């Protein structure tokens, strides 16, 4: 099973940790819960993706793009000053914020764009919350000369205006979504409606490890480069594997990307940090793994924020990228199996993480990432000095500066 760890795209059935099963399930989670019209295109996508996985030329092109276009490998950086300040664990940062476009999202869009091109699709659609995935999708569409339409909640358009303009500069059409809570879940609904309507020529690039099979698996595979690099870098720089790996979890793609290559290393603790919003006890949060109930939404069964009648409830987070009522089905499975654990931190705590990294290490992190940083601030001081903790810095914080300023009462 260690051999397959080094391959770029996981092969089905190569390891006991290598879920999903043949029908796209992670234990009771995942699956394909979509209306009939999408069943055929999903089967077509899966067949195309299986071909890609088996094609050395595809894998070579993906790896070349990651190296030369995305700028990989991203560094693993020992945050010595911050570690000293916290007085416990040694904290290492996986610098996905240094990727082209400023977040981990580009790993996945580069991969899916290659699949789209192979399938002969010339039109890309995507949903986005914080705008990072939208920018990453618009970027690869520009590069491949494909047209691109990005669905974004009207509320998110307001709080992430910088990314909206970036997408437009890249030639994408940004479609405001005004239904429901006007955030990421509604953008996903609208993207699914677009896909079902224009299914013949459209490729839907889902931005996270959710949606119907094969998306959770495919997106994970494209993001696993994060964990594979981290593992090798930690062995080279520290001489051993880390004791813990932390990542923020909204849909969960950056967390799954860094967790998955460590699944067989059972001594490595995997901790996902959800958005606690105003606090789990207030009900105003986005933490389905911490306080949700399994159900079916957006094509898969997973933990959901829902009421007693099965209606999806509105989520709250300072971070648009975590403001989602579901989570990737593999995270649900890792939670139930105990292989990973999930915690939540509040908006206020996340802001402390944001400021700490900015002031002590000169790295301005995304508000999403700041949730993982905030949990590290609470936990690291309680750990011995030889505890090696890796945190995935999923994105940079430039896009969040207006939000942080507003919160601090500063007008820019």
Residues known to be catalytic: 105, 127, 394
Q: Taking CB under 8 A as the rule, does residue 411 contact other proteins?
A: no
Q: How far is the CB of 201 from other proteins (least distance, A)?
A: 11
Q: Applying CB under 8 A, which of residues 185, 220, 387, 399 lies at the interface with other proteins?
A: 185
Structure tokens at 260: 């998955």
Q: Which H or E element spans position 164?
A: helix 161-169
Q: Which H or E element spans position 51?
A: helix 39-53
Question: Who contacts 395 (Cβ-Cβ below 8 Å, separation ≥6)?
Answer: 96, 97, 102, 103, 104, 105, 130, 132, 254, 321, 365, 366, 368, 369
Q: Helix, strand or coil for residue 84? A: helix
Q: How far is the CB of 163 from other proteins (least distance, A)?
A: 24
Q: Taking CB under 8 A as the rule, does residue 297 contact other proteins?
A: yes
Structure tokens at 132: 């990072």
Q: Applying CB under 8 A, which of residues 34, 164, 363, 404 lies at the interface with other proteins?
A: 34
Q: How far is the CB of 51 from other proteins (least distance, A)?
A: 19
Q: Which of residues 194-253 bind other proteins (CB under 8 A)?
A: 196-200
Q: Applying CB under 8 A, which of residues 64, 81, 168, 193 lies at the interface with other proteins?
A: 193
Q: How far is the CB of 53 from other proteins (least distance, A)?
A: 22
Of 38-46, 81-89, 167-175, 402-410, the window that binds other proteins (rule: CB under 8 A) is 38-46
Question: Who contacts 115 (Cβ-Cβ below 8 Å, separation ≥6)?
Answer: 45, 48, 49, 52, 203, 218
Of 52-60, 263-271, 291-299, 342-350, the window that binds other proteins (rule: CB under 8 A) is 291-299
How far apart CA 161 and CA 155 sit, in angstroms, is: 10
DSSP track, 143-155: HHT-EEEEEEEHH
Q: Toward other proteins, which CB reaches closer, 310 or 381? A: 310
Task: Give residues in contact with other proteins (CB under 8 A).
Answer: 23, 31-41, 179-180, 185-186, 189, 192-193, 196-200, 293, 295-299, 304, 306, 308-313
């Amino acid at each position: 099973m260690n051999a397959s760890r080094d391959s770029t795209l996981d092969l089905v059935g190569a390891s006991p940790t290598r879920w999903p099963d043949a029908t796209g399930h992670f234990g009771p989670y995942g699956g394909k819960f979509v209306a009939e019209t999408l069943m055929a295109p999903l089967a077509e996508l899966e067949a195309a993706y299986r071909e890609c996985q088996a094609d050395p030329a595809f894998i070579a092109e993906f790896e070349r793009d990651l190296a030369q276009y995305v700028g990989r490998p991203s560094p693993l950086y020992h945050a010595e000053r911050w570690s000293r300040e916290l007085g416990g664990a040694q904290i290492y940062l996986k610098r996905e914020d240094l990727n082209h476009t400023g977040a981990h999202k580009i790993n996945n869009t580069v991969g899916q764009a290659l699949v789209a091109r192979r399938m002969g699709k010339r039109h890309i659609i995507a949903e986005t919350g914080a705008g990072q995935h939208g920018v990453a999708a618009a970027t690869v569409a520009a590069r491949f000369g494909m047209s691109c339409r990005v669905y974004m909640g009207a509320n998110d358009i307001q709080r992430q205006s910088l990314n909206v303009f970036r997408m437009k500069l890249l030639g994408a059409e940004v479609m405001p979504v005004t239904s429901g809570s006007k955030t990421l879940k509604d953008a996903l609904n609208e993207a699914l409606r677009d896909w079902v309507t224009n299914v013949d020529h459209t490729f839907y690039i889902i931005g996270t490890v959710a949606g119907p099979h094969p998306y959770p698996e495919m997106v994970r595979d494209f993001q696993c480069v994060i964990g594979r690099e981290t593992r090798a870098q930690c062995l080279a720089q520290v001489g051993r594997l880390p004791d813990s790996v932390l990542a923020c979890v909204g849909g969960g793609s950056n967390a799954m990307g860094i967790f998955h290559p460590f699944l067989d290393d059972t001594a490595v603790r995997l901790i996902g940090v959800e958005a606690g919003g105003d606090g789990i006890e207030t009900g105003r949060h986005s933490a389905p793994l911490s306080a949700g109930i399994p159900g079916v939404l957006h094509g898969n069964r997973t933990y959901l924020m829902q009421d007693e009648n099965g209606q999806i409830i509105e989520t709250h987070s300072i971070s648009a990228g975590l403001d989602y009522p579901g989570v990737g089905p593999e995270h649900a499975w890792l939670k139930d199996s105990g292989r990973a654990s999930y915690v939540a931190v509040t908006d206020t705590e996340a802001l402390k993480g944001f400021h700490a990294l900015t002031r002590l290490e000169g790295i301005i992190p995304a508000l999403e990432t700041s949730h993982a940083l905030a949990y590290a601030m609470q936990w690291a001081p309680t750990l011995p000095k030889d505890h090696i903790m890796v945190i995935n810095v999923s994105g940079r914080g430039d896009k969040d500066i207006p939000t942080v300023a507003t919160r601090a009462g500063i007008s820019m």
